[in-house]
Chain A
C-alpha cells in the first residue's frame, strides 16, 4: 500500500513536465527548492527548538556561491557549484551556530533576523563579486556536454537533488543523531542527562540546516537564472517559517507539504500583492491557534494515532 503510493507519487513527479505547461514546471521546481529549505529549517526549529528568521540569508549565500562558481568556471559540471554552495553555506552556518549556542528563544530569533539583514547588506556592498543592486545573471547549469537550459531539464535536476535531500533527512531522523535532536526538542535537560552532548548537537543542527538551505540556494540560482539582493529579504525568511508552521514542526513530510501549499498560494495570490501578507498572516495565526502541529499532525490524527 505504502509502496504503491510512493511509486504512483514518483511516477506523477517524473511525468509532470510532460503533462503540465512550462510555467507549472518552473513552479514545481520552486516548490522542490522551498521544500529543501523547509526541511533544513525544520531540522533546526522543529527538532532542536532553535527558531531562525534568517534562512533567506543562508539561501542567498548558497545562491550567490553557486552563481559565482558557475560563472567563473563555465565548463564545470553542475555538481561543482552545488557542492560549493553547500560547503560555503555550511561553513557560514557553523560560524553563526557556535556563537548562537549561547542564545535561545527570542534572542536566537532576533540574532538570526539580524544575520539575514547583514547578508543582504553584504551582497549590496561586495559589488565586485555579487554585482550589488544590478543583480547577477546565472549561466545555465551544465552536465558534461549538456546545458540544462530548459524548465524541464532544470526540473529533473532539482527533483533529483530534492529526492536525495528528502531521503537523507528521513534517514537522519531515524539515526542516533536524529533521536538526539528529538530528545533535545522534548527537553534539553533530560537530553543532557541521558548523555546527549547538547552543544555538539545544537551546532550540528545549525550546520545541517545551513547545508540544506545552501543546496536549495544553489538550485534556486539555476531555476530562477537571475539573482538580486532584494529577493532575499526578511519576508522570505518569514515565508520559510510559515512553511514549517503550516506543514508541521518536526516532520519531514510536513515540511514538503507546507512548502508546496505556501508556494502555490504565494503564486496564485500574485495578482493580489496587497492582500498576500494579510492572508499569510491569517494563515500563520490560524495554524498556531487551531492546528499547532500543522498539516502533518492533522494527517496523523486522521490515521488514528493520537499524538
Chain B
C-alpha cells in the first residue's frame, strides 16, 4: 500500500467522518438540552433531504436553494415533533423518551417509503467528480468539499454557542436546568431551539452526504454511527463529537485495508463495545459522577 493511497483513504475517511461528526453534534445538542437520545435524528435527516430532492425534481432550482428548502423542512419537522409529542413527555424518564423517538424513527422511515418508495436515488452534488491531483495524491473533490463545508458549519456552531444569547442559554440549560430557569432562561424555548438546531445540522449533513451514498429511506441508519462517534468523543461534548466522528470515519475506512474483509461491517460496533468497556467517558472525555 503506497502512502499516496493511504492518504486518499484517510481523506475520504475524514469526509465520512465529518458527516458522523455532524450527526453526533445533532445528537449531543438534543442530549444536552433534554438528557435524551433522539433515535429519530437519522430519519429526520433523511426526510429533510428527500423534501429538498423532491423540490429539486419538480422545479430544478439551484442546489443552494435546495439545501435551504431541506433546512427549512427540517426545522419545521423538528419544531412540530418537539411541540406535538416530545413536550408532552417532558416529565418522563429518558427511557420513555428513547422509546418515543424510536417509534418516531419507525414512522418517519415508513412514511418516506410510502411517499418516495424504498429505492435509491442519485442526488446532485455541489462538487465535481474529477479527481484533483495534489502532488502524487489524487483526492475526490466531494471529500474535500464535505470536509470544508462541515468545518465551516462547526465553526458557525462554535460562534453560536459561545457568542450569542441563545447559545449561552443552551449551554446554561445543559449545565444546570434549575439554575438556568432561575436566571430567567425559558427552558422550554431552549428545548424547541435544540430540536430545531439539531435538525438543521442534520439536514445540511444529509444534503452533503446524499450524493455519495445515494438518497434512500435507509440512510437514517447513519444515526448509529453518529451515536458511536459521540460516545467515542465522550457523550455530551461538542469538540468530542467532532474528534469522535473524524476518528470513526478514518478507522472505518482504514480497517478494511488491514483486517479481513469479513469483519469490515462490524468495525464500528466492535469499536463501540470496546470503547464503552474501557473508556466509557470517551477518548477525550471524563467519566461523569452520578449523584444520588
- A241 at the B interface (CB under 8 A): yes
Tell me, in angstroms, the Cα distance from A118 to B109 when the chains sit together: 23
Tell me whether B272 and A281 are in contact (CB under 8 A). Answer: no
A residues near B96, Cβ cutoff 8 Å: 288, 292
Tell me, in angstroms, the Cα distance from A274 to B224 when the chains sit together: 23
Tell me whether B95 and A292 are in contact (CB under 8 A). Answer: no
User: CB within 8 Å of A: which of B95-125?
Assistant: 95-96, 98-100, 102-111, 113-114
Chain B residue with Cβ nearest A282:
B107
A residues near B113, Cβ cutoff 8 Å: 274
B residues near A102, Cβ cutoff 8 Å: 276-277, 280
A residues near B6, Cβ cutoff 8 Å: none
Tell me whether B106 and A51 are in contact (CB under 8 A). Answer: no
- A245 at the B interface (CB under 8 A): yes
- Of B141-149, B201-209, B258-266, the segment with at least 4 beta carbons within 8 Å of chain A is B258-266
Tell me whether A107 and B280 are in contact (CB under 8 A). Answer: yes
Q: How far is the CB of B91 from chain A (nearest CB, A)?
A: 11
Q: How far is the CB of A286 from chain B (nearest CB, A)?
A: 8
Tell me whether A284 and B99 are in contact (CB under 8 A). Answer: yes
Tell me, in angstroms, the Cα distance from A275 to B98 when the chains sit together: 22
A residues near B219, Cβ cutoff 8 Å: none
Tell me whether B106 and A281 are in contact (CB under 8 A). Answer: yes
Tell me whether B263 and A285 are in contact (CB under 8 A). Answer: no
B residues near A177, Cβ cutoff 8 Å: none
Among candidates A106, A121, A241, A285, residue contacting B104 with C-beta atoms closer than 8 Å: A285
Tell me whether B98 and A51 are in contact (CB under 8 A). Answer: yes
- B58 at the A interface (CB under 8 A): no
Q: How far is the CB of B113 from chain A (nearest CB, A)?
A: 5
B residues near A264, Cβ cutoff 8 Å: none
Tell me, in angstroms, the Cα distance from A109 to B104 when the chains sit together: 17
User: CB within 8 Å of B: which of A263-307?
Assistant: 274-278, 280-285, 288-289, 292
- A115 at the B interface (CB under 8 A): yes
- B37 at the A interface (CB under 8 A): yes
User: CB within 8 Å of A: which of B205-261?
Assistant: 224, 227-228, 231, 235
Tell me, in angstroms, the Cα distance from A289 to B100 when the chains sit together: 8
Tell me whether A274 and B114 are in contact (CB under 8 A). Answer: yes
Tell me whether A114 and B269 are in contact (CB under 8 A). Answer: yes
Tell me, in angstroms, the Cα distance from A51 to B263 when the chains sit together: 26
Given A117-B269, A245-B99, A292-B92: A281 touches B110 (CB 8 Å cut-off)? yes
Instruction: Determine chain A's interface SS by DSSP, over half rule.
Output: helix
Tell me whether B292 and A284 are in contact (CB under 8 A). Answer: no
B residues near A191, Cβ cutoff 8 Å: none
- B152 at the A interface (CB under 8 A): no
- B55 at the A interface (CB under 8 A): no
Tell me, in angstroms, the Cα distance from A41 to B185 when the chains sit together: 41
- B284 at the A interface (CB under 8 A): no
- A99 at the B interface (CB under 8 A): yes
Given A106-B98, A125-B263, A282-B107: A288 touches B269 (CB 8 Å cut-off)? no
User: CB within 8 Å of B: which of A75-128?
Assistant: 99, 102-103, 105-107, 109-111, 113-115, 117-118, 121-122, 125
Tell me whether B105 and A121 are in contact (CB under 8 A). Answer: no
Among candidates B102, B107, B224, B268, residue contacting A241 with C-beta atoms closer than 8 Å: B102
A residues near B171, Cβ cutoff 8 Å: none
1/0 per residue, CB under 8 A from B, across A113-146: the answer is: 1110110011001000000000000000000000
Tell me, in angstroms, the Cα distance from A277 to B118 when the chains sit together: 13
B residues near A69, Cβ cutoff 8 Å: none
Chain B residue with Cβ nearest A103:
B276
Given A118-B270, A278-B114: A285 touches B103 (CB 8 Å cut-off)? yes
B residues near A49, Cβ cutoff 8 Å: 95
- A189 at the B interface (CB under 8 A): yes
Name 20 interchain pairs, CB-CB below 8 A, sorted by A. A49-B95, A51-B95, A102-B280, A103-B280, A106-B37, A106-B235, A110-B228, A111-B272, A121-B263, A121-B265, A122-B266, A278-B106, A278-B111, A278-B114, A284-B99, A284-B106, A285-B103, A285-B104, A288-B103, A292-B92
Residues of A within 8 A of B (CB): 49, 51, 99, 102-103, 105-107, 109-111, 113-115, 117-118, 121-122, 125, 189, 238, 241, 245, 274-278, 280-285, 288-289, 292
